Structure 1
Amino acid sequence: MYDVIVVGAGPAGSTASRYLSKSGLKVLLLDKNIFPRRKTCAGGLCRHIESFPYIHDILKDKSLIKSVCRGSITISPSGRYEYSYISSDPLFYNVFREEFDSKLVDLAVDMGTEFRDNTLAKDVNVISDGTVEIYSSNDIYRCKVAIIADGALGVIGSYIRKKIGVEKWWRNNLDIAVASELKVDEGFIDRIYGVERKAILKFRWSNLHGYAWVFPKRDTVNIGFGGMKDEMKAIDVQQEFNRYLSYLRNRSLLPKNITYSKVYGAPLPSGGPISKVYYSNILLAGDAAGFVSPLSGEGIYYAMESGRIASKVIISSFENDNFNVIGRNYQRNCFDSFGRNLKLLSFYKYFLMFFSENTHKYAELDPLLRRYYIEVFNGDRKALDPMISVRFIKDFLMFDIFQRR
């Protein structure tokens, strides 16, 4: 019998496991994959990840941090408007997810977590005394509380969302992102992307409701694009990826002779958090709860923060021997911390996609609005900050209304 079982050893699960084990609880962490495992992701750790004190050593580890992005070039859908942004502080840290996620698991194991990879959790049940049972192919594991962090389409997460009644909505609010890591000479990256390792963001590539990117690292670049699930199913992804590479080559952002082996895809929650993120003593965390920025697709920080919040609520429940409100407390704390902002970002995304040309025009002409956009995109500024609306209206009047007279 475990105190807590965590399903899914990504950033949410490993973070929760570390905190829980550090408190003295008996924790089992399960994952279906053999670690280290490949993970489709651009690999950007936005700056707010610095709020985890123990992550600071990772951020100083040059073997794990492949580059630090301090700048970006953003391009409107038509290509007519384009603006650069340079920051004295990091915008994000670039990693390979297989390395970063394995490091987070190691940190949890160091605190006492029992980790079993290559173990698929296939079913879950809550028996009459409140004990949670997790079923794998070969075993039944029991615990007082479970955290389900098995990703956007994990088996247990899907089952819990069905029990909650949100799975249909969930499936209708999934994006798909595709990406590939391409080997590029470090000297080329130094010349083109500079010491700032400027990221490229090209909005509404192939008329998708999303953006295409280039994240330059040390001697590789992560390249990809994303859009709504139905949109992505309607296009030839391989053809569009090749077309994006040609676009980048024509702008001298990639070497002419660059090659790649394969493009990988992954589902991405895009509607913000689901309405309820718990069932009995089972908590959903990370992608499984929709804790992903609908605007940027960033999920690592929100996954880790949900893991941290889950651990605090669970530790308190064990200390007080009261598990009746564990789910409600978890949901309230997550929504107070970041959930409401993520929900607002889904509306912000629709606005940005619908008025994409104008928003980029104003950002090109107005350095302050430009900074606001980058800060919202990067998670450093709340979506509901009234300064953004005020500035946008001011620019609309200045650059579109008064200029016409």
Structure 2
Amino acid sequence: MTTQPDFDAIVIGGGPSGATAAHDLAVQGYRVMLLDKAGRIKPCGGAVPPRLLKDFDIPQSLLVAHAKSARIIAPSNKTVDMPVGDGFVGMVDRDVFDEWLRARAGDAGAMRITGTCEAVDDRADGMAVVSYREGRNAAAQTVTARCVIGADGARSRVAQQCIPGGDKMKCVFAYHEVVKVPDTITEDYDPARCDVYYQGHLSPDFYAWVFPHGETASIGLGSANKGFPLRETTRLMREQTGLSKWETLRKEGAPIPLKPLKRWDNGRNVLVAGDAAGVVAPSSGEGIFYAMTAGRMSANAVSEFLRTGDAKALKGARRQFMKAHGRVFWILGMMQFFWYRNDSMRERFVKMCADPDVQRLTWEAYMNKELVRREPKAHMKIFFKDLGHLIGLKPVKG
């Protein structure tokens, strides 16, 4: 290389994935720039498993609620309660949580810049050149780095410009409203329970939710149908659940990717992570844990690239992620394909979730973020139950 770059790595996007990658690289002593927009909060139920707190050293103080159960609601309005048992589902507010992660990256040594990326280009000597603006009317600035990590969301500009196939991301469109929970609750709402609605009129191909956040709650839904009226349906849902009079604090919408990209790097000096790489779990839409995991794996791959100069190291991020979580993503994708097709199938799905074996193994897989392999008999039992529901051999009523 003929000149020294401004940074070893530039991370574009300061959500959980980008902030984690920037932190991990800064801790290793690399010169890191973290470029992030200001004031944008992603619509998110905010659920995180206990494993996330341990893996990423997250303090309990960032949790605004501990959900001890989930209640799923069928098209017929029949409900199934799924108690977590001895564990819990942690709930975070993304505005506070994301900023804490960014601040931690800054404390580790990453240079934080508030601005918007406009382009990522190659230079003849192998450097990546990032053009950005710190404000809409501000002059464009450029910085150089040996490597760029794009963690700038499902409609990633970095992926579209630099990654083959990055412009073909299929997404669910999510929308939620954050409401203030009144001091006295007379509605059917439990501050320690996540409610999930599998009802076609609320979402034709995904689900709707009411998630507790301590003093607030997230009420929202998602659909891959671009013409589906998200805002109007959320209003109808609030009326249906009796929460229409609760004070609305803010409204947010954004695309959420449906499956991981087939490629995460450009073979030279750019890698994507988080939503930009498509790492949101099918069926559940869970993204925070997987985003942070991809961010850490991307940081490890970039560190290897910076150490060796071998761009093949960048491929390690996707390879490592898919080895750890690809099977779970495939199974969840099949579940979404089969069970979310119509209300008849949703009804059967909710019925199946009443099974104690299904509940126990579901929560164990969620808490540990891996398939539970030590009980083959239980898995075979669930497989045949699932198959029976799928082809209609088991009655919905009973």
Q: TM-score scaled to structure 2, two decimals? A: 0.86
Supply the RMSD in Å over aligned alpha carbons. Answer: 2.8
Superposition pairs of residues 130-169 of structure 1, within 5 angstroms: 130-137=126-133, 138-161=140-163, 164-168=164-168
Q: Distance in 2 between matches of 1:383 and 1:177?
A: 30
Of 30, 54, 59, the residue aligned with 2:35 is 30
Q: Distance in 1 between matches of 2:7 and 2:302?
A: 13
Relative to 1, partners in 2 of residues 1:245 and 1:125: Cα closer, same or farther, differing over 3 Å?
A: same
Relative to 1, partners in 2 of residues 1:8 and 1:53: Cα closer, same or farther, differing over 3 Å?
A: closer
Partner-residue secondary structure (3-state), 1:116: strand
Name the residue aligned to 2:281. 293
| Larger fraction in helix | 1
Letter in 1 for 2:50: R
Partner-residue secondary structure (3-state), 1:188: coil
Q: How far did 1:127 drift?
A: 2.1
Q: Percent identity?
A: 26
Name the residue aligned to 2:68. 70
Superposition pairs of residues 90-239 of structure 1, within 5 angstroms: 90-117=87-114, 119-137=115-133, 138-161=140-163, 164-168=164-168, 170=169, 173-188=170-185, 192-193=189-190, 197-206=192-201, 207-228=203-224, 231=225, 233-239=226-232
Work out whether 1:393 is the aligned partner of 2:384.
Answer: yes
Q: How far did 1:378 drift?
A: 6.8
Q: Distance in 1 between matches of 2:9 and 2:389?
A: 57
Partner-residue secondary structure (3-state), 1:372: helix
Q: Distance in 2 between matches of 1:217 and 1:388?
A: 33
Q: Distance in 2 between matches of 1:348 and 1:235?
A: 22
Q: Distance in 1 between matches of 2:183 and 2:47?
A: 18
Letter in 2 for 1:299: G
User: Would the aligned equivalents of 2:260 and 2:280 in 1 still touch at CA under 8 Å?
Assistant: yes
Letter in 2 for 1:241: T
Q: Deviations 1:83-124 (Å, cap 9, x if unpaired)?
A: 11112344421121111000001111111000001x111111
Q: How far did 1:346 drift?
A: 1.7
Q: How far did 1:392 drift?
A: 4.0
Name the residue aligned to 1:358. 348
Q: Deviations 1:28-55 (Å, cap 9, x if unpaired)?
A: 1101x22x54332222223331342421
Name the residue aligned to 2:18. 13
Q: TM-score scaled to structure 1, two decimals? A: 0.85
User: Would the aligned equivalents of 1:362 and 1:396 in 2 still touch at CA under 8 Å?
Assistant: no
Q: Distance in 2 between matches of 1:215 and 1:77?
A: 19
Larger CA deviation: 307-316 vs 96-105: 307-316
Aligned length: 377
Relative to 1, partners in 2 of residues 1:392 and 1:363: Cα closer, same or farther, differing over 3 Å?
A: farther
Q: Distance in 2 between matches of 1:356 and 1:377?
A: 21
Relative to 1, partners in 2 of residues 1:389 and 1:309: Cα closer, same or farther, differing over 3 Å?
A: same
Q: How far did 1:181 drift?
A: 0.7
Letter in 1 for 2:314: G
Letter in 2 for 1:165: G
Q: Distance in 1 between matches of 2:294 and 2:284?
A: 18
User: Would the aligned equivalents of 1:205 and 1:225 in 2 still touch at CA under 8 Å?
Assistant: no
Where in structure 1 are there 5+ consecutive unaligned residues?
Answer: none
Letter in 2 for 1:155: R
Partner-residue secondary structure (3-state), 2:340: helix
Q: Distance in 1 between matches of 2:228 and 2:145?
A: 45
Name the residue aligned to 1:79. 77
Where in structure 2 are there 5+ consecutive unaligned residues?
Answer: 1-5, 134-139
Work out whether 1:328 is the aligned partner of 2:323.
Answer: no
